[in-house]
């Protein structure tokens, strides 16, 4: 069973398949001296750049993530979060706020930080999602992976949350955003050996419009062509 499931997602993710992966906890989270961030073995971390015109969105080549320090103006509150263990699921979201299509890195950073503030204001330890994909196709680090997310009621344990910025009840995701999402999901699937059947949208797990009709349709198309599910 497990082997078949694995082959299923590898078929769709073949272009991004990596040879190194473990069933769980593929990288360690010892803190580097003098660093507020955990070291990463898997993803080279890009230094944040000043807001401005997009040059070459890093996630289009998937060379790395923009770290939490590249957008957050406030710290996580670890006492409000549980450890993330037993990763077995990925859930996809939209942010569901006002439509957003800016390709400015600064605009995306500000929007992610506004989500963090709203989530912390309701008593959460940090932004609820582990990763964020913006309209330019950049992938951002959200809540650190050492912590369980807060993005699907009663289904957060072992569940990696990925959100696309925008409201896809009222707009469509950009091609760059969907391409980046697909490729990044494949990486996460590979790292944690998550089968396609466990890559789901929020509305497939709970009564909600999230991730919006347009994004839901794009996910359905990706599944149809075997892109990841």
Which residues are at the interface with Zn ion (CB under 5 A)?
93, 202, 210
Q: At what angle do helices 2-12 and 175-192 cross, to 10 degrees?
A: 150
Residue closer to Zn ion, measured from CB, 109 or 163: 163
CB nearer Zn ion, residue 132 or residue 210: 210
Q: How far is the CB of 187 from Zn ion (least distance, A)?
A: 21
In the complex, what is the shortest distance from the CB of residue 58 to Zn ion, in angstroms, rounded to a whole number? 25
Q: Cα(156)–Cα(160) distance, rounded to whole angstroms?
A: 8
Q: Are 75 and 183 in contact (CB under 8 A)?
A: no
How many helices (H) and strands (E) are present in the chain, helices listed first? 4, 5
Our CB check for Zn ion shows the closer of 187 and 202 to be 202
Q: What is the smallest separation between the CB atom of 156 and Zn ion, expressed in angstroms? A: 12
- Can you name the residues that pair with 162 across neighbouring β-strands? 92, 131
* Residues 61, 81 contacting (CB under 8 angstroms): no
Nearer to Zn ion, 45 or 112 (CB): 112
Residue 164 beta carbon to Zn ion: minimum distance, rounded to whole angstroms:
10
Question: Minimum distance from CB of 17 to Zn ion (Å)?
Answer: 28
Of 20 and 122, which has the nearer Cβ to Zn ion? 122
CA distances from 225 to 11, 64, 185, 228 (A): 11, 26, 15, 8
């Amino acid at each position: 069973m497990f082997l078949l499931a694995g082959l299923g997602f590898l078929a769709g993710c073949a272009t991004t398949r990596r040879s190194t992966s473990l069933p769980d906890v593929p990288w360690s989270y010892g803190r580097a001296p003098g660093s507020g961030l955990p070291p990463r073995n898997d993803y080279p971390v890009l230094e944040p750049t000043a807001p401005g015109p997009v040059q070459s969105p890093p996630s289009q080549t998937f060379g790395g993530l923009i770290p939490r320090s590249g957008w957050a103006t406030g710290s996580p509150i670890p006492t409000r979060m549980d450890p993330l263990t037993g990763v077995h699921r990925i859930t996809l979201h939209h942010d569901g706020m006002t439509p957003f299509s800016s390709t400015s890195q600064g605009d995306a950073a500000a929007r992610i930080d506004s989500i963090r503030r709203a989530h912390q204001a309701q008593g959460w330890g940090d932004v609820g999602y582990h990763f964020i994909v913006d309209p330019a196709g950049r992938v951002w680090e959200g809540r650190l992976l050492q912590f369980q997310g807060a993005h699907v009621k009663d289904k957060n344990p072992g569940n990696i949350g990925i959100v696309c910025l925008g409201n896809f009840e009222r707009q469509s995701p950009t091609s760059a955003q969907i391409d980046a999402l697909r490729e990044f999901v494949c990486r996460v699937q590979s790292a944690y050996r998550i089968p396609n059947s466990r890559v789901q949208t929020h509305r497939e797990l709970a009564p909600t419009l999230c991730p919006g009709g347009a994004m839901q349709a794009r996910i359905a198309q990706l599944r149809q062509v075997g892109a990841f599910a």
